[in-house]
Amino acid sequence: MSLTLETIISLAKRRGFVFQSSEVYGGLNGCWDFGPLGVELLRNIKEQWWRAMTLRDDIEGLDAAILMHPRTWEASGHVEQFADPMIDNRTSKARYRADTLIEEFIERLRAKGKHEQADLLDQRLRTAQTADDYYAIIIEAQIPDPVSGTRDWTPVRYFNLMFKTYVGPVEDSSNIVYLRPETAQGIFVNFKNVLDSSRRKLPFGIAQIGKAFRNEINTKYFLYRTREFEQMEMQYFIRPGTESEYFDYWREQRFQWFLSLGMREEMLRLKPHDKLAHYATAAVDIEFKFPFGWGEIEGIHSRTDYDLRRHQEYSGKRFEYTDPFTGEKFIPYVIETSVGATRSLMAFLCGAYAEEEAPTADGKTEVRTVLRFHPLLAPVKIAVLPLVNKEGMPERAEAIYRDLQRRWKTQYDDSGAIGRRYRRQDEIGTPYCVTIDGQTLQDGTVTVRDRDSMLQQRLPADRLIEYFSEVLSS
């Protein structure tokens, strides 16, 4: 089975994971809403990340405001440099990110077997830095517009991705603020506050989950590139000289985190960056194999003391750390782990999707769709199903449902044939179904069906809490 993006988008909508933002008005490009199941899945992902980060000795949490002093973004380099090269085609009026236009052309060359030409262009793309560099590549390689087929291009211009707005009633340049394009700067500017208030010693980290906004030129691939999204970032502050040790450590930790939540290893890969920022000593992406190809879900970066030093320079405040043993003063180095919560939700959704043959009640087979979410991520953990709506079964099922629901997200479903109800739960990734049947009324046992193996076992109803506490906790 080869999974398409359309299949995922349509399942996500049909079952209430993700809806287009303000759909009734035709939608807003690059924005999505999380429905009843999507919001549970997203919260579970964030919860697992938060636990992995903060249930340890050396990391504190933070929740900084989205709006920050505009100087923050001058210090971070975003005002000057957080821009993508953009080009328009005059015939089709289509707008592209110049680097993406070239990348996609290279892909098409490779698909046609023109590897030599593709390699040459790839080489040039890697070293391109200015608008003129990108323009020269597009013109010299005679790249056509994928929509109109013409080469009637405007010059390449840089376009800043930060959303601008104003604080207060006056729309004046002195009142400009930006919606943060990343959560990291909230951590950097609070470095001293956290250090002093928590009396931390190096190495230690600060973790944060929150919304970020980027006015992307081309939003695409569903939740992959959106204009509003959520990030989970952690900055780990260390002594200079230990960066390579901690970079390796965090790369490993983060890769394992995805595996521990059920992602299959063949769907993940580590991709070191070809081009490093001038201040960085190492950078690697964790990539996931999406239906459209490999794409970054997390970046791990060794950023030296660049960010804290810049804030020291721009704010005039000291960002130094004093070693409590030696009295030595220095600006800590940083290892950053930065993952999209919403982009990784899409990866977890795609990674969990399977279609397979399953037996029906009358001995035939049918194709079932199943989301094999890890139990910790599954939006609904248990479904309670009375076999029939009579003979005391609904009352018994309802009592069991109420009991389970106090602890776990549980659904009650009594409509339709039992096989159909199992399929509905499989399709949203519910790991367990509890069925109440005739025997329940006689001996107090129920069947517990496992989503993946489809095997059923009988358990005493009064042991369900104990059983689920075990199987749903890891």
| Residue ranges binding ligand ATP (CB under 6 A) | 182, 214, 216, 225-226, 229, 231, 296-299, 338-340, 342-343
For the chain, count helices (H), then strands (E).
16, 23
Cα(443)–Cα(436) distance, integer angstroms: 11
Residue 222 CB, nearest approach to ligand ATP (Å)? 10
Smallest gap from Cβ 262 to ligand ATP, in A, equals 18
* CB-closest chain residue to ligand ATP: 340
* Amino acid making up residue 238: I
Q: Which is nearer to ligand ATP, 153 or 229 (CB)?
A: 229
CB of 336 to ligand ATP, least distance (A): 9
CB of 346 to ligand ATP, least distance (A): 9
| Residue with smaller CB distance to ligand ATP, 185 or 338 | 338
Nearer of residues 212 and 404 to ligand ATP, judged by Cβ: 212
Kindly give the residue spans of alpha helices, DSSP state H, lying in 172-304.
184-189, 191-198, 243-260
Task: Kindly state the smallest distance separating residue 182's Cβ from ligand ATP, in Å.
Answer: 6
- Return the closest-CA partner of residue 225 out of 238, 214, 234: 214
* Identity of the residue, 214 or 421, whose beta carbon is nearer to ligand ATP in the bound complex: 214
Start-to-end CA span in the chain (Å):
29
Q: What's the half-sphere exposure (Cβ side, CA atoms, 13 Å) at 265?
A: 1
Judged by beta carbon, residue 86 or residue 433, the one nearer ligand ATP is 86
- Report, in Å, the least distance between residue 160 CB and ligand ATP: 14
Joined tokens for residue 446:
């129920």
Give the C-alpha separation, 474 to 461, whole Å.
Answer: 22
Instruction: Using the minimum distance from each CB to ligand ATP, give the nearer residue, 158 or 412.
Output: 158
Closest approach, Cβ 337 to ligand ATP, in A, equals 9
| Cα 459–chain centre separation | 37
Check if the beta carbon of residue 470 is closer than 8 Å to that of residue 431.
no
* Residue 125 or 464 having the CB closest to ligand ATP: 125
One-character DSSP codes across 394-459: HHHHHHHHHHHHTTS-EEE--SS-HHHHHHHHHHHT-SEEEEE-HHHHHHSEEEEEETTT--EEEE
CA-to-CA distance for 250 and 265, rounded, in angstroms?
A: 17
Q: What's the closest the beta carbon of residue 308 comes to ligand ATP, in angstroms?
A: 18
- When the beta carbons of 303 and 343 are compared against ligand ATP, the nearer one is 343
Least distance to ligand ATP, CB of residue 237, Å: 19
279 vs 408, beta carbon nearer ligand ATP = 279
Contact 145, 89 (CB under 8 A): yes
Residue 359, preceding peptide bond in cis (omega within 30° of 0): no
How would you class 426 by CB atoms within 10 Å of its CB: exposed for 0-12, middle for 13-18, buried for 19 or more? buried
Q: Which residues of 56-91 are buried (b: 16+ CB within 10 A; e: fewer)?
A: eeebbebebeeebebebbebbebbeebbbbbbbbee
Taking only Cα atoms into account, the Rg of the chain, rounded to an integer number of angstroms, comes to 26
CB of residue 142 to ligand ATP, shortest distance in Å: 26
Q: Nearer to ligand ATP by C-beta: 202 or 282?
A: 282
* Residue ranges in 112-242 assigned as alpha helix (H): 115-127, 131-140, 184-189, 191-198
